[in-house]
Amino acid sequence: MLDDLYPGASELEGRTIREIVALAMDAPAAAKSGHSGTAMALAPLGVTLFSRVLRHDPTAPEWPDRDRFILSCGHASILQYGLAHAFGYDVDAEDLRSFRQPHSKTPGHPENGVAPTVEVTTGPLGQGIANGVGMALAERMLRAQFGSQLVDHRVWVLAGDGCLEEGISHEAASFAGAQGLDRLTVFYDDNHITIDGPTELASADDTAGRFRAYGWHVIELGESANQPDVLEAAARSAIEETTRPTVVILRSHIGFPAAAMMDTREAHGSPFAPNVISDAKSVLGVPDHGFVLDPALPAANVTNLLARQHERIGWYERVGAAGEEGHHLHAQLESNGALRSSVLASPFEPGAMVATRKALQRAMDTYFPASQGISAGSADLTDNTGVVLKGTSPQSRREPGGRQIYYGVREFAMGAMLVGQALHGGLRPIGSTFFVFSDYMRPAIRMAALSHASALFVFTHDSIGVGEDGPTHQPVEHLMSLRAMPRLHVVRPSDANETLDLVQRYLAKSHPPATALVLSRQDVAVLGGEDARASAEGAHRGGYVVREDAAARFTLLGTGTEVVQCLKAHDALAERGISTRVVAMPCWECFEEQSADYRAAVLRRDLPSVSLEAGATLGWERYVDAAIGIDSFGLSGPGPYLFEHFGLNADALVRHVSERLGE
């Protein structure tokens, strides 16, 4: 009997589950790639959440106070697309037939902004959990700011064995437990299968004990993956828990009800054979044809969600009745927490010696009071990186409105939490650490760039100038590594005032790109006069001419603290009768967005050129004829000594230019 498969499901829910399970086989088979088994096993859970639990409205997918649903095990994307279609979102039958095909709404892993219901881009396992923690943080901060009448929703995450094996899940879960993020619920699909085979090959974790140790509410459901009433009861229990996050541990059978594939590793990532699909459809009681989609099903599910539509309408009415506060909420959500004031930070005096990381702290002192959207923190380096938010309390369960976030030594999870906050809306999250530790968070930075998340990653101690800490803490290849990432803006300001300017511009934009702001530990002279004017006019364009002699014979290019060294070399060469140009390039990605004419005028490739940067030289060949940098690991010693030792100074530029010109 059909009821024996999914006991407790309503007639409509049963039809929906069976259609999605069949789709989970048909779509990968048609695409000749994809993951059927997990989507099949989790279809009852997905339908239960969408039908009975989630606060959502298919007629208004972007409703700000909706619950957030995250499929951390993104390989099961066909489940999310099937749910979106069956519940009346804008995913039609043709979209499902185009699963994993170019330019479709249904790519191989969920991508936010492509299909409705996809809140974050998932695929690399574990990050969805940390994204969910970030979204739960955002909800709590906004609820504290505007009140529960205007902000009152939850975050639901579906995760699998791979998500929990990845180290980021440990970082994120530990943080969420310490913070008591009670609006977060993670359903853990304990199906005992990975691509290599049984999970026991590599893992013997006590998952329930682990999460209890983190301070989570733990619900162990056992063999209940096909029982909507049990699944709903677990979700309701999570909602009733008001002091801590919840994990629901669910034992499912991958590939159910395809007997030939159940509980096998092949069910994880291999399309099913036609005979296996036919046998499974016979058990399901659905037609043995590909993509049999009931055209009446979406409308029926939308009708079943009328109460959720009334919740949405009531929310808009409350926002309207809230007057100025409601207006501020709308503005903050639409602008992603952009600055609402034209206030500018006080500039530093020309010639003063100021590390660019110290300029960031002045920016925070100025712009945090002028913005309701900033949240900021670090991976245990708050004072060192300049992200102290004065006038706010540390974020915690006791201070839910606090915007100072202490992420602990958890760079990877911090990065993914920033992505979650940014994509939630209403906030402008900032996270910081030493530049060398960007390696720990690189996968999250990549996902930020891929998903257009307006997150600001602040990296200080940007070079061998770190000094005595030695090569373990001295970033060398990191600038080029991050510059290779599409869409990421890697910004290394020339001085303190340029830092203030670029931070203000970033915070004032409604949807800035994911940005890595790379700042110095060592002091650098603040530009003055015409040099400062050139910075103010051109830094936001990614590259600009700082100085240009009328009879220039050579171009010197630099970034960060090395721009001042280029200026010193310009003066020294002038004393020898050699006229040069100096170009600063704080952001390559921004520079590439400028017109070809502008780029050509800045670079002047008709002249010989050389770059100076305290990092790897790889990549500079696109802009210069020669590059002076550091292509080895650093050394433990005072920063000034190291710059001399590795030849990262004006003298090296003077020698190069003199030799190149034969003078």
Catalytic positions are 411
Give the three-class secondary structure for 404: strand
Report the distance separating Cα 34 and Cα 109, nearest Å.
9
Longest alpha-carbon distance in the chain:
94
Burial 253-292 (b: 16+ CB within 10 A, else e): bbbbbbeebbbbbbbbbbbbeeebbebbbebbebeeeeee
The DSSP symbol for 177 reads H
DSSP state string for 431-482: EEEEGGGHHHHHHHHHHHHHTT---EEEEES-SGGG-TT-GGG--SSHHHHH
Residues in the chain: 663
DSSP state string for 560-600: TTHHHHHHHHHHHHHHTT--EEEEE-S-HHHHHTS-HHHHH
Give me 402's structure tokens. 């606090």
How far is CA 150 from each of CA 153, 306, 314, 321, 338, rounded to the nearest angstrom?
A: 10, 20, 10, 10, 19
Outline where DSSP puts E strands in 15-171.
Answer: 68-71, 155-160
Hey, what amino acid is at 63? W
Report the distance separating Cα 175 and Cα 160, nearest Å.
19
Find tokens 């939850």 and name the residue: 154
Find tokens 């050699």 and name the residue: 578
